[in-house]
Amino acid sequence: MEVEQSQVFPRLLTVEDVAEILCVPLSTVHHWAVRGEGPPSFKVGKHRRFDAAVVAAWLAKQQQDVA
């Protein structure tokens, strides 16, 4: 039985991906990460990554908080 990669590993987004998805500058995403704001992120070596499902949940919460 073969397990799909998406079932084992989350889809990881880069800072550039998140900036494009949220329509904000790269610098904003970097500032959020340093300050512990914005969608939660983590580092893989020197590279900051975001779990796509976590970013989607964070965005949904932001939309609820405004309503």
Against a cut of 0.75, is the pTM above it?
Answer: yes
Distance between CA atoms of 45 and 49, rounded to whole angstroms? 10
Domain count, the chain: 1
Radius of gyration of the chain (CA): 13
pLDDT band for position 8 (cuts 50, 70, 90): confident
> Domain range holding 11?
5-66
pLDDT tens digits, 25-34? 999 999 999 9
How far apart are the C-alpha atoms of 64 and 9, rounded to whole Å? Answer: 28
- Note the pLDDT tens digit of each residue in 38-62: 999 999 999 999 999 999 999 999 9
Residue that has been written with the tokens 């580092």 in this structure: 43
**Maximum separation of any 2 CA atoms in the chain, in Å:** 45
Higher pLDDT, 65 or 2: 65
What are 47's strand-pairing partners? 44
Two structure tokens written together for 22: 């949220």
The CATH number linked to 45 is: 1.10.10.10
